[in-house]
Amino acid sequence: MTLVLLFAVACAGPAPSARADALAPVGHVFVIVMENKGFAETFGPAGAVAAPYLSTTLPAMGELLTSYHGVGHGSLVNYIAMISGQPPTPDTKDNCSDPLAAVAPDAVPPYGVAATNGCVYPANFRTVADQLTERGLTWKGYMEDIPSPCFLGASGTGDYARRHNPFVFFSSLIDSGQCGVNDVPLTDLPADLADPNHTPNFAFITPNSCNDGHSACTPSTPPAPPVSSSDQQLHQIDAFLQVWVPQILASPAFQRDGLLVVTFDEADDSASCCNQQPGPAELTQPTALNPTPPLPRLGGGLIGAVLVSPFISPGAENPDGAHLNATDYNHYSLLRSVEDLFGLTHLGYAAQDGLQPFGTDVFDRIPPPDALPEPGLTPEPHGGAGSATPPPGAQPSCSARPQATLAPTLRPTARGLAVKGAATGCGRIRVVEVAVARRTARRDCRWLSLAAKPGRPTSCARPFWLLATTVRGGWSVTLRGRLSPGHYDVLVRAIDAAGRKQLVPTRRTLVVRRSKRRRTDAPRRQPVTPWAALPSR
């Protein structure tokens, strides 16, 4: 079947929705997000010529979702939706120029979405990255041309764009240290793919503004004859995918239990699906002059998505050479699907009633349980990331909880507080988290960020966890800021590769006393004049 005919079939209309009756044993998800192309442009006749790898080669390897939608305009709202389920705000629609306004902590039930405008979400608004860390799983954002990990500037060297990096808009990731460890340059990806123990369970890949098709960048050797701006953008997208997708597909982690998703942020139109609702901050309040304000434009248009996985039958195996799926999906559906695959709760509008995740309509090649590898020798099904080699003396049925301990010395300095210790368990320790709180007079706790800044007074039963660095059974984290005098609680817990958490965190009390300063009010001693310097009589 020709691509043009496939395109016509894809646009013929929706298929009956399917239910996620079974979960594919996906343990590694790779998401690549391109920019500003609608389905008709990418997977229609123009895409067949300008981007054949994207429009023809990849769908033949997997499945083409022909009714996958963005959730708004501009770019940033779609990236934020994909990792948090948060709907657009007026500021995120404008891609959040400096200075960045803070979103208020107020959340609107039943889905816990932000009530106010702003750009930077406080720590009570969580992301799938937070969920994965708490589950003992790993994540990374791979950002092409980012100057340094978790770079907060709007742009940097090369063609990096902050509006295409959703992780830097969440305080839960910045203040905990997760962003500084996991939001990294794209050049880190090959080494992580080579070692399955270092391949993250969730990889979010953002090309620069040339390679994602946002801008038409002039090549060093201009094409002859010249091509249109749109065709040049498609060429750039295709060239990027031809470099990076084969590396992902050849990695041990993908070949065992991977899922690759290639999609776009938005199209030019505002088509929507899935009973998408506006966010509270988008709604204009009625006034005397405008008693019935119009609803905001919903939807980011029809964009499509390509999915490749060992658990999806390739389009090339079908008689017509295509594996098309016309079920309605959007970016909230993608987040819900990732959460389902890793056994996580649903965030924001990913929890919306009736929202369809990827189910058996997508994953049509799920092996029977007895065909899966032995757990503990490789990453476990449904996102468990185990050790490639069992620890010495460990038994396959080991169910002991991991345990993290604190080193005997815990002493703050003028530069901050270094906390370190050891962690043990019968499985591989994947995550160690530390929480430090200053007690208040009302017996509340002010949990400290990685910069040692105390947060708002809150319950001492709800720690704000900081991500520690783990190396060979040891772990450490440094709060980089001076602690003011007072009583502090220091907590630490370990999470192993099977997602088992330490039941009772290790706790220690730290008292920071006011430093004694040298007195400066004593009279200064007058210098003694030597005899030789006295005037003669």
Omega within 30 of 0 (cis) for the link into 74:
yes
Residue 338 domain-assigned (yes or no): yes
Q: Are residues 170 and 299 in the same domain?
A: yes
Q: Is the pLDDT of residue 277 over 80?
A: yes
Average pLDDT over residues 123-133: 98
- Tens of pLDDT along 246-275? 999 999 999 999 999 999 999 999 999 999
Q: Is the pLDDT of residue 290 over 90?
A: no
Q: Which of 402, 372, 377 is nearest to 390 (CA)?
A: 377
Residue 288 domain-assigned (yes or no): no
Residue 139 binned pLDDT confidence (cut-offs 50, 70, 90): very high
Q: Is the pLDDT of residue 530 over 50?
A: no
Q: Is the pLDDT of residue 171 over 70?
A: yes
- Tens of pLDDT along 456-512? 999 999 999 999 998 887 999 999 999 999 999 999 999 998 889 999 999 999 999
Q: Which of 202, 204, 501, 497 is nearest to 339 (CA)?
A: 202
Residue 76 domain-assigned (yes or no): yes
Q: How many domains does the chain have?
A: 2
Q: Is the pLDDT of residue 321 over 50?
A: yes
- Tens of pLDDT along 328-376? 999 999 999 999 999 999 999 999 999 999 999 999 998 876 665 543 3
pLDDT of residue 168: 98
Q: Is the pLDDT of residue 239 over 90?
A: yes
Q: Is the pLDDT of residue 292 over 90?
A: no
Q: Are residues 335 and 435 in the same domain?
A: no
Beta-bridge partner residues of 421? 406, 475
Residue 91 binned pLDDT confidence (cut-offs 50, 70, 90): very high
Choose the final residue of a domain: 369, 387, 416.
369
What CATH number is attached to the domain comprising 34? 3.40.720.10
Q: Are residues 354 and 279 in the same domain?
A: yes
Average pLDDT of the residues of the chain: 86
Q: Which of 400, 456, 452, 450 is nearest to 425 (CA)?
A: 400
What CATH number is attached to the domain comprising 497? 2.60.40.10
Q: Which of 497, 259, 333 is nearest to 401 (CA)?
A: 497
pLDDT of residue 258: 98
Q: Are residues 416 and 357 in the same domain?
A: no
Q: Which domain holds residue 427?
A: 403-512
Query: Which of 298-312, 366-380, 509-523 has the weakest average pLDDT?
Result: 366-380
One-letter amino acid identity for 213? G
Q: Is the pLDDT of residue 13 over 80?
A: no
pLDDT of residue 105: 96
Q: Are residues 157 and 200 in the same domain?
A: yes
Q: Are residues 337 and 429 in the same domain?
A: no
Q: Are residues 409 and 499 in the same domain?
A: yes
What's the Cα-to-Cα distance from 456 to each of 124, 344, 359, 448, rounded to whole Å?
A: 11, 27, 41, 9
Q: Are residues 353 and 438 in the same domain?
A: no
Q: Is the pLDDT of residue 235 over 80?
A: yes
pLDDT of residue 495: 94
Sequence-separated (6 or more) residues with CB below 8 Å from residue 416: 452, 478, 479, 480, 481, 482, 483
Query: Which of 174-178, 335-339, 511-515 has the weakest average pLDDT?
Result: 511-515
Vertex 188: Cα angle to 343 and 50 (nearest 5): 90
Stated pTM of the model: 0.86
One-letter amino acid identity for 372? L
Q: Is the pLDDT of residue 392 over 50?
A: no
Residue 535 domain-assigned (yes or no): no
pLDDT of residue 451: 95
Q: Are strands 68-69 and 329-330 parallel, antiparallel or unpaired?
A: parallel
Rg (CA), the chain: 27
Residue 71 domain-assigned (yes or no): yes
If one compares 355 and 320, the residue with the highest pLDDT of the two is: 355
Q: Is the pLDDT of residue 156 over 90?
A: no
Choose the final residue of a domain: 324, 354, 369.
369
Q: What percent of the chain lies above the pLDDT cut of 70?
A: 82
Residue 377 domain-assigned (yes or no): no
Q: Are residues 302 and 213 in the same domain?
A: yes
Residue 383 domain-assigned (yes or no): no
Q: Are residues 147 and 15 in the same domain?
A: yes
Q: How far apart are CA 371 and CA 102, in angstroms?
A: 49
Residue 284 binned pLDDT confidence (cut-offs 50, 70, 90): low
Q: Are residues 317 and 271 in the same domain?
A: yes
Q: What percent of the chain lies above the pLDDT cut of 90?
A: 71
Q: How far apart are CA 321 and CA 4, in angstroms?
A: 13
Query: Which of 165-169, 320-324, 515-519 has the weakest average pLDDT?
Result: 515-519
Per-position DSSP letters for 33-68, written without gaps between them:
EE-S--HHHHHSHHHHHH-HIIIIIHHHHSEEETTE
Q: Are residues 165 and 235 in the same domain?
A: yes
pLDDT of residue 282: 85
pLDDT of residue 227: 75
Residue 531 domain-assigned (yes or no): no
If one compares 531 and 68, the residue with the highest pLDDT of the two is: 68
